[in-house]
Amino acid sequence: MLRVSPNGRYFITRDGGPFFYLADTAWQLFKRLNHDEVDEYLTNRVAKGFTAIQAYVLRGLQVANRYGHVPLVDRDPTKPNDAFFQNVDYVVDRANELGLLMGLVVTFGEHVKRVKLDEQIFDPENAVVFGRFLGDRYRHAAVIWYLGGDRTPLEGREVWTAMARGLKEGSQGIHLVSYHGPGVWATPSSSFWFHNEDWLDFNAIQSGHGWAIPNYDFVAHDYSLVPVKPTLDMEARYENHPDVRTNTRKRVDAHQEREAAYWALLAGAAGHGYGCNDIWQFYDEAVTPYWKEYAHSTTWPNTHWRTAMNFAGATGVGLARKLLELVGWYRLVPDQSVIVEGQGEGEDHVMAARADDGSVVVAYLPFGNPISIEVGRVSGGRVKARWYDPRGGSWKYIGEYPSQGVREFVAPSSGEQDDWVLVLEDAAKDLPA
């Protein structure tokens, strides 16, 4: 079971060790895949370095899973269909066996407050019942819960609060709960509605599916709040998703995935949610396409989910986890003051963080442009400098310097796809590569 760290910045496991939340977004996992496919998918995600899987419990009332079962009897939240939830049990248990946490979104927002579809079913009374059912059924599983279902609270705030109460009662208070909003630019985080609610254990951001959205600003907003709570961009731009900001003919690529992850994590996020346009809906023309079940969808998937599992963006965020675990990510504090020259404009935004004891500085350079760093901010008498290639995970040694003054660093390459990570460390620490 996950808990919040004593300083309120990140997640810890039952034994108190830091937990790096790196989630893949698999919203339709409980409906689109059979058991053999679930095993194939989860095994791939473990190999890529993911530690969590995000999926919806309720998303569509009349859409059956691969075994022909719908989630509720007579569309009634107080009558969960046990046959449907036996499949949910299988997926959750299998994920946990493989060491994966499940980040479960309780219900699509349309079931709480109708916006586009005629599928509203929840009120405060049945919401607490359904929440209690889920909390109790998965009390002993490694899960966390998200409310919200991609929607603002609107007039449904009482429903969401009741559902949260039910989850806490059912799990006897051992599961963490947050809120998954719609990614509205003005209110991208749960903090804008629920930060001071006692049931909200951490904040969740949806920064959205546009090119170069500055999610570091959203993380910084949550990071500054009191009381202190962990925050994460649990739904950033999806790989191979049309760019919703500027040009729908342009699709989000692997560089964008790495950029979103490093920007958020070095800005103080407790973890990160990767997504792929073809995986969240498990695109497969042999199975009824998701967007035909929901005619309002305009995401235009074009790659079978088995192929999409191996997109370069998924590899890149896994490598980001490896690097940040190496340098002790949970001790990093965002620190833009170490950047003296070379801070770019727009997408060329360099994000930097420094360990709380000064032993390491990490800076992400989206385009590999020259940068000057105050190396005196690194502890010890000498600084060891290295470049980390976030595309392939290799290192390039730069040199060792006295821990004083300002020094310019020029990346091995530069360009629109040539991102690099600069790692400056106390040479006496001798971190492994």
Residue 225 sits in a domain whose CATH number is: 3.20.20.80
User: What average pLDDT does the segment 9-34 reach?
Assistant: 97
Full residue range of the structural domain in which residue 418 is found: 335-426
Residue 86 sits in the same domain as residue 177: yes
Q: What is the CATH number of the domain that holds 371?
A: 2.60.40.1180
User: What average pLDDT does the segment 319-324 reach?
Assistant: 98
Check whether 117 has a pLDDT greater than 70: yes
* 143 in any annotated domain: yes
- Given this model, what pLDDT does residue 295 score? 46
- Given this model, what pLDDT does residue 293 score? 56
Residue 221 sits in the same domain as residue 339: no
Residue 205 sits in the same domain as residue 308: yes
Q: How many CB atoms lie within 10 A of CB 191?
A: 24
Check whether 254 has a pLDDT greater than 60: yes
* 433 in any annotated domain: no
Residue 279 sits in the same domain as residue 409: no
Q: In 195-349, where does DSSP find H-type helix?
A: 215-223, 254-266, 290-293, 305-308, 312-326
Check whether 292 has a pLDDT greater than 70: no
Residue 250 sits in the same domain as residue 347: no
- Given this model, what pLDDT does residue 211 score? 94
- Given this model, what pLDDT does residue 168 score? 98
* 8 in any annotated domain: yes
Residue 314 sits in the same domain as residue 350: no
Give the span between the Cα atoms of 263 and 271, in whole angstroms: 11
- Given this model, what pLDDT does residue 6 score? 98
- Domain termination site, one of 329, 347, 370: 329
Say what the pTM is: 0.97
* 291 in any annotated domain: yes
- Given this model, what pLDDT does residue 183 score? 84
Check whether 291 has a pLDDT greater than 60: no
User: What average pLDDT does the segment 329-343 reach?
Assistant: 98
> Phi and psi (nearest 5°) for 305?
-60, -30
- Given this model, what pLDDT does residue 423 score? 98
Q: How many CA atoms lie within 13 A of 243 on its CB side?
A: 13
**Cβ-based neighbours of 198, under 8 Å, separated by 6 or more:** none
The whole-chain average pLDDT of the chain stands at: 95
User: What average pLDDT does the segment 279-285 reach?
Assistant: 92
Check whether 297 has a pLDDT greater than 70: no
Domain tally, the chain: 2
- Domain termination site, one of 313, 329, 345: 329
Residue 291 sits in the same domain as residue 348: no
Higher pLDDT, 432 or 8: 8
- Domain termination site, one of 329, 347, 374: 329
User: What average pLDDT does the segment 352-360 reach?
Assistant: 97
**Lowest pLDDT segment from 11-25, 27-41, 43-57, 297-311:** 297-311
User: In this predicted model, what pLDDT tens digit does every residue of 217-227 receive, in sequence order?
Assistant: 999 999 999 99
Contact 150, 157 (CB under 8 A): no
If 0-12 CB within 10 Å is exposed, 13-18 middle and 19+ buried, where does residue 348 land?
Answer: middle
Q: C-alpha angle 429/335/399, rounded to 5°?
A: 40
User: What average pLDDT does the segment 325-343 reach?
Assistant: 97
Q: Which two tokens stand for residue 146?
A: 């998200």
Residue 29 sits in the same domain as residue 124: yes
Residue 63 sits in the same domain as residue 201: yes
* 431 in any annotated domain: no
Residue 245 sits in the same domain as residue 390: no
Residue 311 sits in the same domain as residue 290: yes
Residue 362 sits in the same domain as residue 223: no
* 432 in any annotated domain: no
